[in-house]
Amino acid sequence: MNKLSALAARCLRVAGRRLRFPDIVTERARVNARGQQEAFVQHLMQSQRHANPRDLAHFEHQVYSQNGEDGIIAEIFRRIGSQKKNFIEIGVGDGLENNTAFLLSQGWTGLWMDGSPRNGKIIRQKFAKLTSDGKLKFIESFITAENVNSLIVSAGMPDEVDLLSIDIDRNTYFIWEALSQVKARLVVVEYNATMPPWLDWKVQYRADEWYDGTFYYGASLKAFESLGLKLGYSLVGCDLHGVNAFFVRSDLVEGNFDPPFTSEARYEPPRYWLSRTAGHQRGYGDFNR
């Protein structure tokens, strides 16, 4: 029995006083899986592909993000700086798992947009003080390429923000394309890692279509690379899970990130099985201290 398994066994013997046997088996399996995940990541980070200590994957950390985006975003802003500490995030879930909640907790301000009535109800309850204070603006609406600009204008957001994050599954590519007048220092988008890094592909745009649960959604990393260059951004990295791609305004890249800024060099395959939320149940709090 290795050290991790021995530690897990001791923890489970204590927990077993309160857990039924099936729960103990499930918990042991969860601990073992977590150990295997950590071992795989450590091995991956020692590979030639990630040997550069400036590689953004070395800075992954999860607070409110789905995966390690919180840490990557923090490192990018450490390198390029922020100006107004503001953001726009489109597709925020219930507010406790997204790319800007951690920034919000550190005193940033911005706009959240989401089309789910359930998520909207939770956000209005959990973040009522921030919305009433004007630190957080929230729009509940089904987002399309046709209405996204007018919605942002209606919220009174400036054209220049530090962070723009977009994750609405099927139409993410087209929303970013439509937002050509919004200038952000950093843009984070969800890409479709099922598609190979050399393929310039995107789903057919339909404003009224939702994600159907298959891998027919979004756009390939190559398509986002091309769109980013068109809008003035360079692809500086992806998270290890193969979910998010990070684009920095091209005039801020030199000296802060190492080339090449291509999908072939930055692509991470779909490792969705690495996803996990560690620790206690999430709750929102002020970390700006």
CATH of the domain at 260: 3.40.50.150
In terms of Cα–Cα distance, which of 95, 99, 146 is closest to 121?
95
- pLDDT tier at 14 (50, 70, 90 boundaries)? very low
Q: Are residues 157 and 220 in the same domain?
A: yes
Maximum pairwise Cα distance, the chain:
60
Determine the Cα–Cα distance for residues 76 and 248; give it in Å rounded to an integer: 8
Mean pLDDT of 246-256: 98
Same domain membership, residue 191 and residue 152: yes
Same domain, 151 and 82: yes
Burial status of residue 251 (CB atoms within 10 A of its CB: 0-12, 13-18, 19 or more): exposed
Q: Specify if 45 maps to a domain.
A: no
- Does 68 lie in the same domain as 34? no
117 with 252, same domain: the answer is: yes
Give the chain's radius of gyration (CA, Å). Answer: 20
Q: Phi first, then psi: what are they for 277, rounded to 5°?
A: -115, 110
Question: Does residue 21 sit within a domain?
Answer: yes
CB 61 within 8 A of CB 128: no
Neighbours of 185 (CB within 10 A): 22
Domain count for the chain, please give it: 2
Shared-domain flag, residues 12 and 148: no
Q: Are 61 and 13 found together in one domain?
A: no
Percent of the chain with pLDDT over 90: 71
CB 100 within 8 A of CB 127: no
Q: Specify whether 141 is located in the same domain as 265.
A: yes
Sign of CA dihedral 187, 237, 215, 34: negative
Contact 232, 270 (CB under 8 A): no
Q: How confident is the model at residue 184 (pLDDT cuts 50, 70, 90)?
A: very high
In contact, 200 and 178? CB cutoff 8 Å: no
Count other C-beta atoms under 10 Å from residue 195's C-beta. 21
Stretch 237-253: mean pLDDT? 97
In terms of phi and psi (left: phi > 0; alpha: psi -120 to 50; beta: otherwise), the region of 134 is left
- For residue 281, being part of any structural domain is answered with no
104 lies in the same domain as 142: yes
The answer to whether position 140 is within a domain reads: yes
Burial environment of residue 17 by CB neighbours within 10 A (0 to 12, 13 to 18, 19 or more): exposed
Quote the pLDDT of residue 91: 96
Q: What is the pLDDT of residue 24?
A: 54
Determine the structural domain holding residue 22 and report its residue range. 3-40
Is the pLDDT confidence value at 100 over 50?
Answer: yes
64 and 132 in a single domain? The answer is yes
Does a structural domain hold residue 256? yes
Q: What is the pLDDT of residue 11?
A: 45
CA gap 102, 287 in Å, rounded: 8
Structure confidence at residue 25 (pLDDT): 61
Whether residue 284 is contained in a domain is answered as no
Q: What is the pTM of this model?
A: 0.86
Q: Is residue 287 part of a domain?
A: no
* DSSP run (H or E) holding 186: strand 183-190
Q: Looking at the domain assignment, is residue 47 inside a domain?
A: no
Q: Give the pLDDT score at 1.
A: 45
Domain co-membership, 69 together with 99 = yes
Do both 32 and 132 map to the same domain?
A: no
- What pLDDT score was predicted for residue 275? 75
> What is the spatial distance between Cα 48 and Cα 110, in angstroms, rounded to a whole number?
38
